[in-house]
């Protein structure tokens, strides 16, 4: 009986791994594989360094299993280069790679050839999606529509005056209905506008902490 490892990945915590795991367990059962371990990640497939995938590859190098089962190619990697690197290493280690959605098994030469072809097609498809998104953003700009966050509209001079009067960062944030981080950013930006040699009694902040600056010695 071949020993199998299952790898499943979702991009965000609000997605669920359960469906992938159940499907892969069933496939292993049908093929007569013994599942020795399941590896999971909750992060973008664009990141090549992932705890679950890294551990799977480390165990593959120790020959802990004979087959790696995944729900789909894009669960392993979002770009062809990284995907083929993983596949190539597994191949050199003698570990078979089986993808449920693409119905690919690298146990044979046809499966290995199909992996390269399907991976390339998937990359082209993802690139097309990126281009469509970029085209939509360009169109929005030409039409004068706002892209991203709405610019913060506050009385920056009033914030500086409140700070010089000794108001705390939390009180300033509450008074102007903005976040404490925004207060810090505005105060840091306004530092450069203060005339040389004139230092307000209380400055901005660093790492969320309030800073008090003393006047330079004469």
The strand pairing partners of 9, in sequence order, are 41
Q: 87: Cβ–Cβ under 8 A, 6 or more apart, which residues? A: 97, 106, 115
Residue 143 burial by CB count (10 A; 0-12/13-18/19+): exposed, middle or buried? exposed
The strand pairing partners of 149, in sequence order, are none
Tokens of 18: 């359960």
For CA atoms 170, 172, 175, 179, the dihedral sign is negative
Q: Give me the catalytic one of 11, 48, 168, 182.
A: 11
Specify whether 11 is catalytic: yes
Q: 203: Cβ–Cβ under 8 A, 6 or more apart, which residues? A: 163, 187, 191, 211, 212, 213
DSSP state of 106: T
User: Which H or E element spans position 38?
Assistant: strand 34-42
Q: How far apart are CA 83 and CA 78, in angstroms?
A: 7
Residue 216: strand, helix, or coil: coil
Q: Please identify every residue annotated as catalytic.
A: 11
């Amino acid at each position: 009986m071949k020993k199998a490892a299952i790898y499943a990945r979702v991009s965000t915590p609000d997605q669920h791994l359960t469906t992938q795991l159940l499907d892969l367990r069933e496939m292993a059962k049908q093929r007569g594989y013994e599942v020795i371990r399941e590896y999971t990640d909750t992060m973008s497939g664009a990141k090549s360094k992932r705890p679950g995938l890294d551990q799977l590859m480390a165990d593959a190098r120790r020959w802990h299993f004979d087959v790696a089962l995944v729900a789909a190619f894009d669960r392993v990697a979002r770009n062809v280069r990284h995907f083929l690197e993983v596949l190539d290493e597994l191949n050199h280690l003698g570990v078979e790679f089986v993808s449920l959605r693409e119905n690919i098994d690298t146990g044979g030469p046809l499966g290995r050839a199909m992996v390269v072809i399907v991976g390339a097609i998937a990359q082209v498809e993802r690139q097309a999606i990126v281009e469509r998104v970029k085209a939509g953003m360009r169109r929005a700009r030409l039409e004068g529509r706002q892209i991203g966050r709405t610019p913060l509209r506050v009385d920056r001079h009033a914030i500086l005056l409140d700070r010089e009067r000794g108001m705390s960062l939390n009180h300033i944030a509450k008074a102007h209905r903005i976040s404490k981080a925004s207060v810090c950013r505005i105060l840091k930006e306004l530092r450069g506008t203060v005339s040389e040699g004139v230092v307000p009694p209380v400055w901005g902040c660093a790492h969320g902490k309030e800073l008090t600056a003393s006047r330079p010695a004469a």
